[in-house]
Amino acid sequence: MSQALDEIKIGGLGASRKRVEDNRFIRGKGNYTDDITLPGMLHMEILRSPLAHARISSIDTSKAWDIPGVHLVLTGEMMATRNLAWMPTLSYDTQAVLATDKVRFQGQEVACVIADDPYIAKDACEAIEVEYEPLPVIVNPEQAVAEGAPVIRDDKDSQRDNVIYDWEVGDAAGTERAFAQADVVSKLRLHYPRSHPSPIECCGSIADFNRATSKLTVYMTTQAPHIIRAAVALVAELPEHMIRIISPDIGGGFGNKVPVYPGYVCSILASILLERPVKWIEDKTGNLISTGFARDIYLDGEMALRRDGKILAVRMRCDADHGAFFSDAQPSKFKIGLLHSAFAAYDIPVAHLAARGTYSNKAPGGVAYRCSFRVTEAMFFQERMMQAAADDLGMDQAEFRRMNFVKDDDFPHRTPFGFLTDSGQYAKCLDVGLKAIGYEDFRREQAEARNRGRLLGLGISTMTEPLGAGNSREYDILGIKMFDSAELKVHMTGKAIIRTGARTQGQGHETTWAQIVSHELGIPAEDVVVEEGDTDTAPFGMGTYASRSTPVAGAAVAMVARKIRAKARRLAAHLLEVSEEDVEWELGRFYVRSAPDRGVTIQECAMAAYSNMPDGMEPGLENTAYYDPPNLTWPFAVYIATVEVDPSTGVWDVLKLVAVDDCGVRINPMIVEGQIMGGLTEAYAMANMQFITFDAEGNCVGSNYMDYLLPTAWETPGFELHSEVVTPCPHHPIGAKGIGECAAVGGPAAYVNAVMDALSGTGVRNIDMPLLPDRVWEAITYRRDVSGAPPVRSDD
Ligand code: MCN
Ligand code: CUM
């Protein structure tokens, strides 16, 4: 008789365990950067530029220095004496820490004040007198490449214009030939507007340099503490072992907390100069105006089609507006992230993509927002293009997708842009989604409603997305290979601590990593504590973004647990007085093959590791694993929305949204559902209400929550989630694929396609996001496309 433990009861794989971190979060006992107070701590505030592009003729800080309680006023000139006026970005560009020559976007950091409290520091910032000579402003790629455009980055000797890169991938000639064979060529141009992750907690840091020990400790809001440690060591030329980066609880990251920001650097230098802890906490406007902008890309594409619906080729061109500094965090081989993951779900013989990146007088953009390196833009364009192509062919939306899907037995599949997808059941997911939405019935209802003047629409978005960078052969950031790690220590009583190189920001790692240990070792999840985010204790890792934690760090957790199990087996053989080959494992217990009643628990093995190990065995039960995944993981998703559009106001309501996500084996189904719902909510916000735009002078419209809208429970629609399709990842030790970004990536197209479907027959081909009521109304009333980023509109 098996005495294996019940995996769900002990909180193993598949258990919808309540999130352990919520015990402190919902009690208000989280420990965020701003909760930390150190003895003798000073406070830093940043003076930002009011202008988008201007030469600095002078900065007079004398009045700020005179204010009682001010300890230091930092300017670019002072930073320059330490070689810190500029810093390298994660995309091999440079970014001003504090402006010296010019300001290049509204909200750029010009000076900092460090004072006894943040109020004094703020007042002192206002006392700094800066004289600016305004320069012409560029707010989009078209202006950036226009004749006579001012060169924004005249600080770089080699820069003669505003182009950052021209990059291409795919087979241009083959694509050309395929287009020559096409029966139908479908075209689409759209703009994915600037958006902002807008986590509840803004960015911040507390730098604490101790002259006596030479140790620099920095508490900061970072999704990748080890990368920051390396950056500080290399840029500030401090010894790496004397730098400790601690990322305490993070109040949401969503990509906003991947880059290195000037505020971090200034607080570090200030602490070194003053030999006191210096705290910087960004305010909401600072966060919305200067950090972490995503997207802002113009996408232009064509699809070559055979009359029967077969896709022959795809051509994409895009113009990305990066703002004043190219600071995307992305694998170094790729200039436009993984945009070329577009169309990976479809069997397309040949494709070509050309991308141009340009500077503008806007804050660094394209950075990251729940996207796995521009996958959001890739999948949005893909699914809008699929809808347009099906319409051009007069084909059913679902049928067109199904016919072009990569088939279940066609894996591994090489995409036309060179990715290798390895598993999926795309048609099955689509069937589940169509059934759940009541596809046939809705189409009938839609036709009947039309006759009565009501506009109903249905939008489908189906996609597979690459989550979990590395492998290290192809993926690195600034040359640092993308793998991850886990360290497991089992104490003598069988309790354990697991540490990884990832950093949770709300995703629930403290809950789910314990579940993986539980699955591998049979130690109840509640006996396993998870710790991340302290570079002095966590093993080296690349951090949490691109939904890489489960695919990479999570895999390392399973692998280190397996190492522990291998050693525990030797301990078990010793305790049971049999040879190792005669020992069998079942969850939580080793037993003698020929006498299954004779066994020892994993906890007994742990005790033996400290009290009764065999002669010659190294004591203790701990280990570390580094994991370099063979491939990315490729979850698949189907999102289908139905909407009703009010033609008299342009307001649209979601009637139903169905989500079918196949992310392989689910560690914690409840957490996975939470991730999907969060992503669908953010997708709804992007499609429906959010935009950050700029007027002709480069003033940022959207730097506060009156203009930049966050959806609350009140306006967010309900979602129906389906989990019945599970295609385990063939190379992940527990078969899991990433999920953290899927719904934010695939969601927007479902909503937009639904609204466009409601407008079918009116001649309107595209409305760019956000689909604000006035834009939808304009499209319906004037029967025309509405494009561009309001209020700077292409048709004005
Ligand atoms: N999970 C699971 N089973 C799977 C896959 C994942 O149970 N098959 C669980 C994981 O164990 C983890 C969570 O789901 O607890 C998300 O896992 P994963 O897909 O690996 O993503 P990461 O943990 O790497 O999180 C990063 C991802 C990104 S890149 C953004 S952006 C984003 C997102 O997560 N930011 C978030 N979701 C967020 N959720 C919250 N609450 N806050 C953020 O800042
Ligand atoms: Cu692209 S935002 Mo997440 O990868 O941190």
User: Which pLDDT score is estimated for 10?
Assistant: 98
Q: Is 507 in the pocket of ligand 2 (CB under 6 A)?
A: no
pLDDT, tens only, 296-339: 999 999 999 999 999 999 999 999 999 999 999 999 999 999 99
Angstrom distance (rounded) from CA 641 to CA 717: 10
At residue 74's C-alpha, the angle toward residues 69 and 78, to 5°, is: 140
Q: Which of 91, 370, 504, 542 gets mutated to test ligand 2 (max ligand atoms within 8 A of its CB)?
A: 370
Q: Is 545 in the pocket of ligand 2 (CB under 6 A)?
A: yes
Counting ligands in written order, the one closest to the CA of 258 is 2
Q: How far apart are the first and last CA of the chain?
A: 78
Q: Is 368 in the pocket of ligand 2 (CB under 6 A)?
A: yes
Distances (CA, A) of 253 to 57, 288, 326, 362, 506: 37, 13, 20, 21, 8
User: Which pLDDT score is estimated for 793?
Assistant: 46
Residue 371 appears among annotated catalytic residues: yes
pLDDT, tens only, 202-234: 999 999 999 999 999 999 999 999 999 999 998
Counting ligands in written order, the one closest to the CA of 368 is 2
**C-alpha 509 – ligand 1 centre gap (Å):** 8
Alpha carbons within 13 A on the beta-carbon side of 264: 27
The answer to pTM > 0.85 is yes
Counting ligands in written order, the one closest to the CA of 680 is 1
Burial class of residue 480 (count of CB atoms within 10 Å of its CB; 0-12, 13-18, 19+): middle
Is 50 exceeded by the pLDDT of residue 127?
A: yes
pLDDT, tens only, 529-546: 999 999 999 999 999 999
Using the atom order of ligand 2, give the atom closest to the CA of residue 197: 2
Using the atom order of ligand 2, give the atom closest to the CA of residue 371: 1
Q: Which of 675, 676, 680, 741 gets mutated to test ligand 1 (max ligand atoms within 8 A of its CB)?
A: 675
Angstrom distance (rounded) from CA 490 to CA 494: 6
Q: What is the arrangement of strands in the sheet containing 595-601, beginning at the earlier edge strand?
A: 583-586, 589-592, 595-601
Using the atom order of ligand 2, give the atom closest to the CA of residue 505: 5
Q: Is 338 in the pocket of ligand 2 (CB under 6 A)?
A: no
**Bridge partners of residue 456, in order along the sequence:** 644
**C-alpha 547 – ligand 2 centre gap (Å):** 7
pLDDT, tens only, 149-177: 999 999 999 999 999 999 999 999 999 99
Collapsing DSSP states into helix, strand and coil, what is residue 218? strand
- H or E segment to which residue 132 belongs: strand 129-134
Counting ligands in written order, the one closest to the CA of 253 is 1
Collapsing DSSP states into helix, strand and coil, what is residue 639? strand
Residue 741 appears among annotated catalytic residues: yes
Angstrom distance (rounded) from CA 409 to CA 424: 9
Counting ligands in written order, the one closest to the CA of 544 is 1
255 — alpha (psi -120 to 50), left (phi > 0) or beta?
left
Rounded to an integer, the average pLDDT of 664-689 is: 98
pLDDT, tens only, 94-111: 999 999 999 999 999 999
The pair phi, psi for residue 376, each rounded to 5°, is -60, -45
Q: Is 652 in the pocket of ligand 2 (CB under 6 A)?
A: no
Angstrom distance (rounded) from CA 72 to CA 63: 12
Determine how many CB atoms are found less than 10 A away from the CB of residue 225: 27
The token duo for 260 is 């290195």
Using the atom order of ligand 2, give the atom closest to the CA of residue 375: 1
Q: 791 pLDDT band (50/70/90 cuts)?
A: low
At residue 691's C-alpha, the angle toward residues 143 and 644, to 5°, is: 125
Q: Is 372 in the pocket of ligand 2 (CB under 6 A)?
A: yes
Is 90 exceeded by the pLDDT of residue 766?
A: yes
pLDDT, tens only, 585-626: 999 999 999 999 999 999 999 999 999 999 999 999 999 999
**C-alpha 187 – ligand 2 centre gap (Å):** 30
Q: Where are the beta strands (DSSP E) in 491-582?
A: 496-500, 528-532
**C-alpha 636 – ligand 2 centre gap (Å):** 18
- Pick the closest to residue 629 from 485, 763, 795 (CA basis): 485
Ligand 1 pocket by Cβ (under 6 Å)? 199, 252-255, 370, 505-509, 512, 544-550, 554, 663-668, 671-672, 675, 678, 736-741
783 — alpha (psi -120 to 50), left (phi > 0) or beta?
left
Distances (CA, A) of 739 to 89, 241, 467, 468, 531: 28, 34, 8, 10, 21
User: Which pLDDT score is estimated for 788?
Assistant: 79
User: Burial code of 417-455, b = ≥16 C-beta within 10 A, e = fewer?
Assistant: bebebbbbbbbbbbbbbbebbbbeebeebbeebeeeeeb
Using the atom order of ligand 1, give the atom closest to the CA of residue 515: 11
**C-alpha 552 – ligand 2 centre gap (Å):** 15
Q: Which of 25, 223, 507 gets mutated to test ligand 1 (max ligand atoms within 8 A of its CB)?
A: 507
Smallest CA separation from ligand 1 atom 4, residue: 666
Counting ligands in written order, the one closest to the CA of 467 is 1
Angstrom distance (rounded) from CA 163 to CA 359: 6
Q: Is 548 in the pocket of ligand 2 (CB under 6 A)?
A: no
Residue 370 appears among annotated catalytic residues: yes
**C-alpha 629 – ligand 2 centre gap (Å):** 19
Smallest CA separation from ligand 2 atom 1, residue: 371
Collapsing DSSP states into helix, strand and coil, what is residue 309? coil
Distances (CA, A) of 720 to 261, 406, 649: 39, 26, 28
The active-site residue out of 194, 276, 370, 765 is 370
User: Which pLDDT score is estimated for 795?
Assistant: 43
Collapsing DSSP states into helix, strand and coil, what is residue 191? strand
Angstrom distance (rounded) from CA 395 to CA 151: 48
Q: Say whether the peptide bond before residue 259 is cis (omega within 30 degrees of 0).
A: no
Number of residues assigned to the chain? 796
260, 228 in Cβ contact below 8 A? Answer: yes
Smallest CA separation from ligand 1 atom 38, residue: 507
**C-alpha 709 – ligand 2 centre gap (Å):** 20
User: Which pLDDT score is estimated for 796?
Assistant: 42
Distances (CA, A) of 158 to 101, 103, 153: 17, 19, 9
**C-alpha 539 – ligand 2 centre gap (Å):** 21
Distances (CA, A) of 690 to 368, 444, 667, 710, 738: 16, 33, 32, 7, 26
Angstrom distance (rounded) from CA 711 to CA 268: 35
Angstrom distance (rounded) from CA 661 to CA 217: 41
Counting ligands in written order, the one closest to the CA of 328 is 2
**C-alpha 546 – ligand 1 centre gap (Å):** 9
Q: What is the arrangement of strands in the sheet containing 102-103, beginning at the earlier edge strand?
A: 102-103, 54-60, 129-134
- Pick the closest to residue 500 from 444, 561, 541, 452 (CA basis): 541
Angstrom distance (rounded) from CA 612 to CA 81: 61
The active-site residue out of 302, 383, 741, 778 is 741
Mean pLDDT (the chain, rounded): 96
Angstrom distance (rounded) from CA 258 to CA 543: 9
Smallest CA separation from ligand 1 atom 36, residue: 254
pLDDT, tens only, 256-265: 999 999 999 9
Is 60 exceeded by the pLDDT of residue 710?
A: yes
The active-site residue out of 95, 106, 223, 603 is 223
Angstrom distance (rounded) from CA 58 to CA 579: 80
**C-alpha 257 – ligand 2 centre gap (Å):** 9
Q: Which of 90, 258, 745 gets mutated to test ligand 2 (max ligand atoms within 8 A of its CB)?
A: 258
Q: 235 pLDDT band (50/70/90 cuts)?
A: confident
698 — alpha (psi -120 to 50), left (phi > 0) or beta?
left
Using the atom order of ligand 2, give the atom closest to the CA of residue 223: 5
Using the atom order of ligand 1, give the atom closest to the CA of residue 256: 31
Q: Which of 91, 254, 376, 632 gets mutated to test ligand 2 (max ligand atoms within 8 A of its CB)?
A: 254
**C-alpha 741 – ligand 1 centre gap (Å):** 7
The active-site residue out of 203, 371, 429, 700 is 371
In the block, residue with structure tokens 């002990």: 10
Strands 413-414 and 420-421: antiparallel
**C-alpha 740 – ligand 1 centre gap (Å):** 4
Q: Which residues contact 19 (CB under 8 A, 6 or more apart)?
A: 508, 510, 511, 671
pLDDT, tens only, 341-377: 999 999 999 999 999 999 999 999 888 899 999 999 9
**C-alpha 675 – ligand 1 centre gap (Å):** 6
Residue 126 appears among annotated catalytic residues: no
- The 3-class SS string of 335-357 reads CCCCHHHCCCCECCCEEEEEEEE
